[in-house]
Amino acid sequence: MTTDGTSEPGSSPLFDLHALVVAVRRRRRFWCALALLGLLAGAVLAVLRPPPPAAVTKVLVTHQDDQPNDTGTLIRTDVELLGTTRIAGQALKALKSTEKPEDFMADYRGTGVTNNLLQIDVTGASDADAVARVKALADAFVADHVRRMRESAKAEAKALIAQRDRMRKELGQINDSIGTRSPESDPQGSASIESLYARRAELNSRIADFDQRAEEARIGTPKLVAGTQIVDAPRAVHHSLAKSAVTNAGIGFFLGLFLGLAVAAVGSVVADRPVLRREIAANLGASVIAELGGQPRRFSWPWRLRRTRAAHERVTTTLARTVRGASEPVSLLELGCARSTSVLARNVAAALAAEGPVALVDGLPGPHLAEARRGPGDPDVVSGEQAAALPRQVRRIGVGSVAPGTAWTDLQYLGGQTVLVVRAGHGSAGWLHTVARQLADQNIPVLGVVLVDPDPRDRTDGTLWDGLHIALRGHGERLARESVRGRARTERSSRAVRVPDSDKEAR
C-alpha cells in the first residue's frame, strides 16, 4: 500500500481521475498549441472568407386566430411558408431573375422574433442586390399572406351565406305550412301550429346570427390585410472585419482547446503512461529515492537555473552515497532521459573521484557520453569491451538504457545493482512491468528510482512498504548482503562436515 490512503493494487480503482488530470496537464503544450492554432485559423478565415453582402427586413404578420397565449405556432408556420418555392418563385418573378427557386431558397432564411414579427435575412452579390432581393421576398410574402387571408375570409363568408340561404328556404316552407292551417282546427292541430311557430322563431334567430357572422368575416379581412406590412424597411447589413475576426478567433480558440483537451485525455487513457510517484514505484517494484526536474530551456530565468543546479547537486549526493555503500558495481539505467542520465553519471563520478579512480562504462545507445566535452579531471569513459581490462581498484559506474530494444543480457556487465532513472510519463505501465521483470530475471536488484521531470503538484508517495514501519527503500542492498551471508554460512558448514576414513569412525 502507499501512504496516501490507497490500498493494495488489487483494490485500486479502475479509473484514476487524479492521474488523468496530471497526464492532461503535462501535455499542456499540445492542447495550448491546438487552441492557438484554432485562434489563428479563425482569424485568418474571417479575413480570407468575409461574410457575403446581406440585407434584412422585418414584417408584421397578423393572424385571424391570434391568441395572447400562443406559443409561436403561427409564426413558425409563417417561417416555413416563407421557405417554399411558391414564395421564392414570386420574388424571383418580381426581380425578373432566371434563378431557380430552389437555389434562391438557400440564400435567405426567416426567423420568428415574436408571435407576430418575422425577420427575413437575404444574401446577395452586392449590398444593392441583397436589398432588392429581400424587398421582393418581403413583398411576395405579404401578398401571399394577404391573398390567403382574403380567400379564407371569402370562403368563410360564402359558407355562412350558404347556410343562411338553406335556413331561409326552410323558413319559407314553414311559413307556407302555417298559412295553410286554420285557427279552428282540433287541439292536435293547434299543438302542431305552435311547434311551427317555435321553429320559425328559431330559424329567424339563426339566420340573423349567420348574417352577422358573415358580415364580421367580410369586415375583419381589411383589418388583417392592413395589419400585415413591412415595419422595418429593407437595409443592408454592414459587417465589421475586426468584430468578425475576433468572433471567429474566439470560436476557433475554444474549439481547438476542447479538441486538444479531448485528444490529450483520450491519448493518456489509451497510452496508460504512469506519471505519479506511486504508479511508477508500484509498476517498477522500487521506491523513488530522488527527483530531478527536466532539462532547462536554452533561455531560462537565472533563478530557474540556480534551482536546477541545486537539484542536480542533491541528486548527485544521494547517488554518490548509494554507489559508495554498494557491495557491487552500480549502474544507472535510463528510460526516456539519456541526456539527464549521462549528466548524473558524470557528476557522480566526479564526486567519487576524490576517493579513487572512477571509470564510466558507456552502454547508452546514443553518443551522450562518448562525444561529451571532457575537462581536466573528468572520469574516463570506456566501452563495454574495455571495461573488462580495467584494474580492480578502479570503481566502475555503468550507464545504460532499458528502452525498447535493450539487450537485457548485457545489463549485468554494467553493474550487479542498478538505479533506474525514469522520466515521468515516458514509459507505459506494461513496459515498466517488463523492465522490472527483466531485471529480476537477470538478478539485478534495483536500489531505487530517480524520477526525472515529475509533476510539481504530485503529492503521492513513491515509497513501497514491506510491513508497517519497514520501507523497501534499499531492499536490493539488503538482499545482496543476505546473499553474501548465505554463501558464507554455506562455506562454513561445508568445511565443518568430515568424511569418515573407516567404518569405525563412521559408527
The overall average pLDDT reported for the chain is 80
More confident: 192 or 500: 192
Percentage of residues in the chain having pLDDT higher than 70: 80
More confident: 66 or 256: 256
Bridge partner list, 449: 288, 420
More confident: 188 or 17: 17
Tell me, what's the pLDDT at 57? Answer: 95
Q: Count CB-CB contacts under 10 A for residue 233.
A: 11
In terms of Cα–Cα distance, which of 273, 274, 313, 279 is closest to 293?
Answer: 313
DSSP line for 59-75: EE---TT--TT--SHHH
pLDDT digit string, tens, across residues 174-186: 777 777 765 555 5
The top-scoring range by mean pLDDT among 256-260, 365-369, 495-499 is 256-260
At 502, the pLDDT band (50, 70, 90 cuts) reads very low
Mean pLDDT of 398-421: 90
The alpha helices in 228-301, defined as continuous H runs, are 241-271, 277-284
Mean pLDDT of 158-173: 80
pLDDT for 239 beyond 80: yes
Measured between alpha carbons, how far is 221 from 312 in angstroms, rounded to an integer?
91
Tell me, what's the pLDDT at 13? Answer: 60
Measured between alpha carbons, how far is 204 from 171 in angstroms, rounded to an integer?
8
Tell me, what's the pLDDT at 505? Answer: 37
Q: Count CB-CB contacts under 10 A for residue 402.
A: 25
**Pairing between β-strand 380-383 and β-strand 395-401 as defined by DSSP bridges:** unpaired
What SS3 state is found at 55?
strand
> Could you report how far apart the first and last alpha carbons of the chain are, in Å?
56
More confident: 16 or 120: 120
Domain ranges of the chain: 17-49+246-271, 54-238, 277-494
Mean pLDDT of 22-33: 89
Amino acid at 336: G
Measured between alpha carbons, how far is 335 from 319 in angstroms, rounded to an integer?
17
pLDDT digit string, tens, across residues 31-53: 999 999 999 999 999 888 888 89
Half-sphere exposure of 271 (CA within 13 A, CB side): 18
Pick the range with the lowest mean pLDDT from 127-131, 256-260, 315-319.
315-319
At 261, the pLDDT band (50, 70, 90 cuts) reads very high
DSSP line for 378-402: PPEEEEHHHHTTS-TTSEEEEEEE-
Rounded to 5 degrees, φ, ψ at 326 are: -80, 145
pLDDT for 4 beyond 60: no
pLDDT for 351 beyond 90: no
At 172, the pLDDT band (50, 70, 90 cuts) reads confident
Measured between alpha carbons, how far is 209 from 481 in angstroms, rounded to an integer?
116
CATH code of 54-238, in short, is 3.30.1890
Tell me, what's the pLDDT at 469? Answer: 37
Mean pLDDT of 13-17: 68
More confident: 24 or 374: 24
pLDDT for 1 beyond 60: no
Tell me, what's the pLDDT at 182? Answer: 57
How open is the CA angle 359-363-364, to the nearest 5 degrees? 115
DSSP line for 70-126: --SHHHHHHHHHHTSHHHHHHHHHHHT----HHHHHTTEEEEESSSSEEEEEEE-SS
Mean pLDDT of 315-341: 87
pTM > 0.75: no
Tell me, what's the pLDDT at 14? Answer: 61
- According to DSSP, residue 408 is labeled G
Class of domain 277-494: alpha beta
Using CB atoms within 10 Å of the CB of residue 75, give its burial: 0 to 12 exposed, 13 to 18 middle, 19+ buried.
buried
Tell me, what's the pLDDT at 5? Answer: 42
Tell me, what's the pLDDT at 412? Answer: 86
- Is 452 in contact with 422 (CB distance < 8 Å)? yes
At 199, the pLDDT band (50, 70, 90 cuts) reads confident
Measured between alpha carbons, how far is 368 from 371 in angstroms, rounded to an integer?
6
pLDDT for 157 beyond 50: yes
Mean pLDDT of 210-238: 80
In terms of Cα–Cα distance, which of 392, 406, 399 is closest to 437?
Answer: 406
Residue 317 neighbours by CB under 8 Å, 6+ apart: 351
pLDDT digit string, tens, across residues 73-114: 889 999 999 999 999 999 999 999 999 999 999 999 999 999
At 335, the pLDDT band (50, 70, 90 cuts) reads very high
Tell me, what's the pLDDT at 83? Answer: 92
Tell me, what's the pLDDT at 303? Answer: 60
- Is 57 in contact with 233 (CB distance < 8 Å)? yes
